[in-house]
Amino acid sequence: MTGRSLLWRAAALVLLALFITAPQLFAFAFEPLTANGAPAIYNQGSLLSLTLSHLRIVFLATLASTILALGLGIFVTRPSGREFLPLSRSLVNIGQTFPPVAVLAIAVPLVGFGEKPTFIALFLYGLLPTFENTLTGLMEVSPQTLEAAKGMGMNPRQRLFQVELPLALPVILAGIRLSVIISLGTATIGSTVAAKGLGEVIIAGLQSNNVAFVLQGGLVVALLAVLIHDGLGMAERFVAGKLGRPADEVS
């Protein structure tokens, strides 16, 4: 990443932090998008609070889906679990089969309104990228490397934690990165079922025909996605560099 790219990303981070903590400073930029004396800045809640709530539900759902997907990926790449690979693939594909709105519609009668149905939708949508990348990363470990580890006296558990997972980590991180970005965007619809998040700003703008609100919610989500995508990408490249792998193999 060049110095200019880092400068732009640092500027975007500062801009985002200023906007969600002191949005009134940017009122002049959004006033041309309002009509009939409508407020230029979202005034039905704290943008900072909504952003933190949005990130919180994304983090929790991603953490849960990563734990399950990683566990399944490890299990089906072991000799005792290979026969369960087709079943595991079917399970993690459930989230991609139904639209997020359909998942929410099914979850609300079961768990009620709020964060829970949103968590379920994000959890299901986050499984597939991490699971598939875990499979890819583990299967890419060369048999020669495993044989060398075995020749050194490592048992299967040691080979997994000291050889396979470290070598597969850059690819697994790429799957987690994709899962996070999907969840960041999908979480906006959680506001339709009373979950706190940046979707509130967008929905408020649509209901009041206030383009400024819609743009504010969309811009914050977009900047979060870009910054988190880049941050996780840097982590992948760092890990790949430590392993002596070209960065473009995992990007």
Which pLDDT tens digit goes with each residue over 86-119? 989 888 888 778 788 888 888 888 888 888 999 9
- Summarised one tens digit per residue, pLDDT across range 46-94 is 999 999 999 999 999 999 999 999 999 999 999 888 899 998 988 888 8
Whether 22 is in a domain gets the answer no
How high is the pLDDT of residue 249?
A: 52
Whether 23 is in a domain gets the answer no
- Summarised one tens digit per residue, pLDDT across range 186-227 is 899 988 888 899 999 999 999 999 999 999 999 999 999 999
The C-alpha angle with vertex 108 and arms to 104 and 112, in degrees rounded to 5, equals 140
For residues 27-33, give the mean pLDDT: 91
Whether 18 is in a domain gets the answer no
Closest CA to 115 of 40, 58, 51, 45: 58
How would DSSP label each residue in 65-91?
Answer: HHHHHHHHHHHHTSTTTGGGHHHHHHH
Q: What angle, rounded to 10 degrees, do the helices at 47-76 and 3-21 form?
A: 130
Closest CA to 49 of 180, 196, 193, 194: 196
Number of separate domains in the chain: 1
**Amino acid residing at 181:** I
For residues 126-145, give the mean pLDDT: 92
- Does residue 238 have a pLDDT over 90? no
What is the CB-side half-sphere exposure of residue 126 using CA atoms within 13 A? 32
CATH number of the domain encompassing residue 93 = 1.10.3720.10
Whether 77 is in a domain gets the answer yes
Domain of residue 104, residue span: 46-249
For residues 136-163, give the mean pLDDT: 90
Burial of 114 (0-12, 13-18, 19+ CB in 10 A): middle
